[in-house]
Amino acid sequence: FNVLVLNGPNLNMLGKREPTIYGTLSLAEIMQNLSAMAAKMGMKFTHLQSNAEFQLIDEIHQSFQQVDFIIINPAALTHTSVALRDALLAVNIPFIEVHLSNVHAREAFRQHSYLSDIAIGVISGLGAKGYEYALAAAQHWLQENK
């Protein structure tokens, strides 16, 4: 299986950015661990972080019929982006939405997501481990459904 991991704006600052909320691991460290886990599972792993909405959308378009599953932390775009939602609908690739923090325990504006209702599932508040749980869930879902 081919898995694509997407990380949205400001996640390149992980480790330095509000560490009490987002943890002390850098994105590179989190993605290295995840890539090692994917390799052990025999999955092909691709990762893109971008601060630009269009780059995430372009990557989703290029994944059409190439990628079996997407794990996405859309970051602030979760709460703003109809375009990201439409891109995911356009390619019809199953995905899990991941947040490091528990968005439901934070400001009201973080409690709406443009993606959650079209996701296979949502993981929020479990820190960097959330990506690993998402990868395990993706493999399980693909074995059951593909």
The least distance separating ligand DQA from the CB of residue 8, rounded to whole angstroms, comes to: 7
The residues that are catalytic are 22, 99
Q: Which neighbouring-strand residues pair with 70?
A: 4, 95
Helix (H), strand (E) at residue 142: helix 129-145
The reply on whether position 113 binds ligand DQA by CB under 6 A is no
For ligand DQA, the closer of residues 57 and 68 by Cβ is 57
**In this chain, which stretch among 23-31, 58-66, 74-82, 86-94 interacts with ligand DQA, using CB under 6 A?**
74-82
* Kind of pairing between the strands at 44-49 and 121-124: unpaired
Contacts of 80 (CB under 8 A, 6+ apart): 114
The residue ranges that bind ligand DQA (CB under 6 A) are: 10, 73, 75-76, 78, 99-101, 103, 110
